Amino acid sequence: MSEIFEGKKLGFGLMRLPLLDPKDDTSIDIEQVKEMVDTFLERGFTYFDTAWMYHSFKSENAIKEALVDRIPREKYTLATKLHSGFFETLEDRDKVFNQQLEKTGVDYFDYYLIHDIERGSIQKYEDLDVFNWVLEKKAAGLVKHVGFSFHADAELLDEILTRHPEMEFVQLQINYLDWESEKIQSRLNYEVCVKHNKPVIVMEPVKGGTLAKVPDDAEKMLRNLDANMSIPSWAIRFAASLPQVKMVLSGMSNMEQLLNNTDYMQDFKPLNELEITTVHAVADVINSGITIPCTGCSYCTPGCPMEIAIPKYFALYNQDRRDGADHAADMEKYKGIAETGGKASECIACGQCEGICPQHLSIIDGLKDVAEALE
């Protein structure tokens, strides 16, 4: 089935696009995105990945303006997704899908995913017959290939692929930090896909930026292997080195990131045995210093009634917990974030964020910790 993915292994994830206003997730810098799109295509990469809720529901609009309206359709492939949090009826499925066609401006999607399957959402997808529904879209020529993204345990993944062998690919969270995680189960889920011979798309290879800037001890270990390779390159190359992986998505926020990623992925070379052993050792160093393993996906923020910048607070809190952190400076940064939304202490514990979090984090408790440390 691997022939459904052609070309180079790097995909452009449209979740973390450059912004005109860092405090406004909808203020996408379209002109910079156009330049990034053009460079990405010029370097031989073709895969673009968006979703209904990315950038507070503006990512699909942005890719229409930056890509679809400007580039011949045969020059790129586009993926988008249906998330369980945004439909309640059979009719809603088509409402979302038709709006996605309109927002992106395409006549068909190359890849369409049932999004964020986990134990809390699978029954809804089954009850509303979404697996057959995406096959109907494929039969109608509106979708070329169907699959799903997955955020749960390997046992459930095995059950789904056994029940739905018609699914053509699986999108998994795989990175060297989560490879042996009991919660994320990157390795175990990957092995289930190998068992079922399903191609894998990798999301969160850099874990929301966690593997782009690592602790000093971890950085030294990677620099000793190759001082010329960027730190995030090790994470993307680790995921791309897995034989069953056919595409690795990277959410690129500026031209510098795009140039770096496309440089080393143009002529991709898998990690050797020593390099793989070293990145696993690096994972041990990093895991020992992470307090809240948030990836910064921001699924939690659009529905927050208090408009709390949850991912930004968690990133700052993790930074503040590290040895040598400047606590006074972190408290000032906290005040700056709080100027545009709710404080961590203003969480009303409604739980909507925990219901949609792909990492299944205890966000309410995490915000209490943030408030205690930084307010």
Could you read off the pLDDT of 138-189 as tens digits, one per residue? 999 999 999 999 999 999 999 999 999 999 999 999 999 999 999 899 999 9
- Is residue 270 pLDDT above 80, yes or no? yes
H-state helical runs in 243-348: 255-266, 273-287, 310-321, 327-338
- The pLDDT value recorded for residue 309 is 92
Residue pair 173/204 in contact (Cβ under 8 Å)? The answer is: yes
In which band, very low, low, confident or very high, does the pLDDT at 1 lie, cut at 50, 70 and 90?
A: very low
- The pLDDT value recorded for residue 323 is 65
Torsion, Cα of 51, 203, 354, 132 (10° steps): 60
Residue pair 149/142 in contact (Cβ under 8 Å)? The answer is: no
Who wins on pLDDT, 285 or 130? Answer: 130
Angle between helices 273-287 and 216-225 (to 10 degrees): 170
Record the tokens describing residue 360, joined without a space: 């299944």
What's the gap between Cα 268 and its chain centre? 21
pTM of structure: 0.84
CB atoms within 10 A of CB 269: 10
Quote the CA–CA distance of 329 and 239 in Å, as a whole number. 35
Quote the CA–CA distance of 265 and 232 in Å, as a whole number. 12
> What does each C-alpha distance from 162 to 131, 145, 192, 240 come to in angstroms?
13, 18, 10, 25
Record the tokens describing residue 329, joined without a space: 């400076």
- The pLDDT value recorded for residue 2 is 47
Over residues 316-347, the pLDDT tens digits come to 888 888 766 788 888 998 999 999 899 999 99
What's the gap between Cα 360 and its chain centre? 15
In which band, very low, low, confident or very high, does the pLDDT at 126 lie, cut at 50, 70 and 90?
A: very high
Tell me the sheet residues that pair with 308. Answer: 342
Least confident of 29-33, 91-95, 218-222, 358-362: 358-362
Q: Report the percentage of the chain scoring pLDDT > 90.
A: 81
Quote the CA–CA distance of 161 and 372 in Å, as a whole number. 44
- The pLDDT value recorded for residue 76 is 98
For the chain, what's the residue count?
375
Torsion, Cα of 178, 184, 185, 187 (10° steps): -40
Quote the CA–CA distance of 169 and 134 in Å, as a whole number. 13
Mean pLDDT of the chain: 94
- Is residue 59 pLDDT above 70, yes or no? yes
The H-or-E segment that residue 203 falls in is strand 200-203
CB atoms within 10 A of CB 321: 16
Which DSSP string corresponds to 63-84? HIIIIITTS-GGG-EEEEEEEG
Record the tokens describing residue 104, joined without a space: 């992106």
Residues sharing a CB contact under 8 Å with residue 281, sequence separation 6 or more, in sequence order = 221
Mean pLDDT score, 247-273? 96
Mean pLDDT score, 199-212? 94
Mean pLDDT score, 277-306? 87
- Is residue 29 pLDDT above 90, yes or no? yes
DSSP state of 90: H
- The pLDDT value recorded for residue 324 is 67
Quote the CA–CA distance of 161 and 156 in Å, as a whole number. 9
- The pLDDT value recorded for residue 249 is 98
Over residues 35-51, the pLDDT tens digits come to 999 999 999 999 999 99
List the one residue out of 139, 147, 131 whose CA is nearest residue 80.
Answer: 147
